[in-house]
Structure 1
């Protein structure tokens, strides 16, 4: 019996390592595409293995905006299969003492990034199975030791490619760390005494819609339904920047052009928009950890 349990445990451990072997490598950064930085990272990855499947999540994270990098990972990663390796480089502290890590989630996904808050939402949503610190003595592009400002190329892309291509196991990334990551504080969705509170983590940037982290089931618990007019207030820290009753709709076609509406976005989270307009610009609303929303019937 004990032998059978031991074999099962070893197989389970082995399956965690195998998750890294699907060969898919997803890149995210705040580099933009105006120069060769992203191409250089991909070149490093292909230098490890030309069999890797390279995918871009986005390279339009606003410069130094760690929070938005965290959200874009959350928005995208759950749709990729187990074993996918993500590289996220939004690293204003490059070259400093912040740790370079690889997170293995309980869902079997890998994230290669500085531990600077980028993993806040992924850790909460997908769970922390294990965290390892990248050993740069082994997992660093050769002849890059004197470069201190492009860890995305020299450390993260190289390590991620080696992991995705099976050149190293997860254990060979580096030493095991406590199963936690650096987190950014923000307003989590709560419902108490008829008042819903949440965060505005991101804008639907193409249209200026306001996306919140309040899921549809909390709106249901509030007792709100399509057609109801809800009192919506938006704050930046303690400053109230918007207050109005807004109708909850299923589609934008239910509202007149220029009318404020509430709806559920593609993630089934509560959102606010101006039909055929730009809510963020009209009301000077932005997003991030300091932005929050309150909703009442």
Structure 2
């Protein structure tokens, strides 16, 4: 197991919460390497937290410990759990759906329930609103530093007992592709869908083709246009929309040097559906 600890929260960096988590981890061991996945998850957005783990975990060495704290139910009866993935990574998180994408796409080998009374930062027993520091960062550091084994974190719990969020599979039928808009490329406003490149290939779509793209919110059409399936943003003019392959080899929709999400008021999650199909190319002839 590598001595890596990666933190994800919706805390932001405007106060000392994240620094306190770092401090607890360093107190446990000064031999671990602590990194940030992100602390800018939208407040309480478990779906996005789940997706960011799926986006990131696979690129870290086996044995890396992830702590993900987006926890609107802190202090309630929701459980604290530790997960070992099929890929050999570890995640410590509230049992509130944060493991949805990891379970669906990568697979989980084992889940253990953490005893929130016994396995916590010493002298924090009267605090019930900062489990990110007192339980998750503390146990994440213990696991990453090998002070404790995964098996010692708690009793095995049934995989089917953990909370999950609904996921709809992308489909290709009669060369029509449908899927969901899972998340944004936040800084640039591009839409990341759950449609894999293989679906476009199965529909006979290649780069340079023109696609009819339709977006629905709760089954109501909110956007439709013809977009080029481009190799890169540079293949279209500034301000033009395009379809492209994102870093997870899924299909994205963007505007070159602008925010597709902001321009067209598009959100993310299972309420947002997208449909694509190959369109005929339009050729504009010059006047002679």
Using structure 2 for the length normalisation, give the TM-score: 0.93
Question: Are 2:155 and 1:175 aligned?
Answer: yes
* Alignment of 1:105 onto 2:85: yes
In the alignment, what sits opposite 1:57?
Answer: 37
Runs (4+) of structure 1 moved beyond 4 Å? none
Q: Does 1:192 align with 2:148?
A: no
The 3-state SS of whatever aligns with 2:109 is strand
Residue 219 of structure 2 contacts residue 273 of structure 2 at CA under 8 Å; is this kept in 1? no
RMSD: 1.1
* Structure 1 portions without partners, runs of 5+: 1-20
1:139-160 superposed Cα distances (whole Å, 9 cap, x missing partner): 1011111111100001111111
The corresponding residue for 1:92 is 72
Q: Does 1:218 align with 2:215?
A: no
Aligned to 1:251: 232
| 1:290 partner SS | strand
Q: Distance in 2 between matches of 1:254 and 1:130?
A: 45
Any conservation in 2 of the 1:184–1:289 contact (CA below 8 Å)?
no
State the shift of 1:210 in Å: 1.1
SS of corresponding position for 2:8: strand
The correspondence for 1:278, drawn from 259, 266, 282, is 259
3-state SS in 2 of match to 1:200: strand
8 Å contact kept, 1:70–1:122: yes
Corresponding position of 1:264: 245
Q: 1:187: how far off? A: 2.3
Deviation at 1:179, TM superposition (A): 2.1
- The structure with the largest helix share of the pair is 1
**Contact kept in structure 2, 1:73 and 1:122, CA below 8 Å:** yes
The residue that corresponds to 2:19 in the other structure is 39
CA distance in 2, matches of 1:240, 1:285: 11
Alpha-carbon distance in 2 for matches of 1:282, 1:257: 14
Counterpart Cα distance in 1 of 2:237 and 2:62: 43
SS in 2 for 1:22: coil
Question: Are 2:109 and 1:129 aligned?
Answer: yes
Deviations 1:207-262 (A, max 9, x none): 11111111111110011111111111111222211111211111222212221111
Deviates more, 1:270-279 or 1:82-91: 270-279
Matched positions, count: 277
Match of 1:141 in 2: 121
**More strand as a share of residues:** 2
- SS of corresponding position for 1:44: helix
The residue that corresponds to 1:78 in the other structure is 58
Alpha-carbon offset, residue 60 of structure 1:
0.5
